[in-house]
Amino acid sequence: MSRVCPQCGSDKIRSGTLHAHDGVRHLLLHTPLRCRDCKHRFWVFNPFKPLLLLSAVAALVGVTAWLALDQHTTAQPAKTPASLPHVRAQQGDAEAQLLLGMRYAEGDGVIQNDKEAVRWFALAAKQGLAEAQYQYGLALLQGRGVVQDYKAAFSWIEKPAQRGYAKAQYSLGELYRYGTGTAIDKARAYLWFNLAAAQGVEAAAKARDSLVWQLKPEQITAMQEEARRMSHGTPVPVAPATAPATP
């Protein structure tokens, strides 16, 4: 680089300082100098700066490409067929069938479709999965994605309730309370509300207490005794039995 002042010709040159108003071209390609004699500030071309700039750009491009490749590689396992709920569900995995049913029911990652949800709930329910039996029973009860059928709904909800599934016990109590899919039986409603309440279902506790004044003392005593027996006994297993016929 030239070390002679272009204004006075002095060779007494020192490094200059950068200023905010200096142009980008100067900042990237030149080095500021100042004459010690006349104080003139000038620029000289610095061949090292373009090389540093190119190196920085190349490094940035390389890091960006590496990150993109790494993310693509990391994402690949999640897309392998064996991990997709559809594939596992079609292979007969009850848990995957339930998961797929919930996704279709809620529109989680798929287009919401009650009919598809019920289809997967039914498949998992027939394999004895308690939550699937409960969800299938609710769909039949509400006529959501399937023709409404109170008797079939009662049968499916009763299965997980007998196995100690708290949500199903509460729903079964409601069915007995209002005679949905079965005859009205306030005593049996009290029994199932009592069992669900013992597992922490607050709504079941309130429903149970609201029935006390509608029952005779001997009915309450009998249902409390049965609840104790059921809560300490072995849950009734629900085999993958044939489902109640639904339209």
62-118 pLDDT per residue, tens: 778 777 776 655 544 444 444 467 889 989 999 999 999 999 999 998 999 999 999
Q: Which residue has the higher pLDDT, 134 or 50?
A: 134
Calculate ∠ Cα 210-213-218, nearest 5°: 120
3-state secondary structure of 74: helix
pLDDT of 145: 96
Contact 102, 116 (CB under 8 A): no
Q: Please give the model's pTM, rounded to 2 decimal places.
A: 0.62
For 151-173, how does the pLDDT look when each residue is reduced to its tens digit (9 = 90+)? Answer: 999 999 999 999 999 999 999 99
With a CB cutoff of 8 Å and minimum separation 6, the contacts of 42 are 5, 6, 7, 16, 32, 33, 34, 35
pLDDT at 240 > cutoff 80: no
With a CB cutoff of 8 Å and minimum separation 6, the contacts of 110 are 103, 104
pLDDT of 97: 95
What are the chain's domains?
13-75 (no CATH), 85-148 (1.25.40.10), 159-238 (no CATH)
3-state secondary structure of 14: strand
Do strands 13-15 and 30-35 pair parallel, antiparallel, or not at all (unpaired)? antiparallel
pLDDT of 168: 97
Residue with tokens 């289809």: 119
> Most distant CA pair in the chain: distance in Å?
119
Task: Count the alpha carbons within 13 Å of 156 in the hemisphere toward its beta carbon.
Answer: 30
**Range scoring the smallest mean pLDDT among 22-26, 116-120, 166-170, 228-232:** 22-26
Mean of all residue pLDDT scores within the chain: 82
For 184-219, how does the pLDDT look when each residue is reduced to its tens digit (9 = 90+)? Answer: 999 999 999 999 999 999 999 999 999 999 999 999
Q: Which residue has the higher pLDDT, 227 or 58?
A: 227
Contact 146, 139 (CB under 8 A): yes
pLDDT of 184: 97
Contact 176, 186 (CB under 8 A): yes
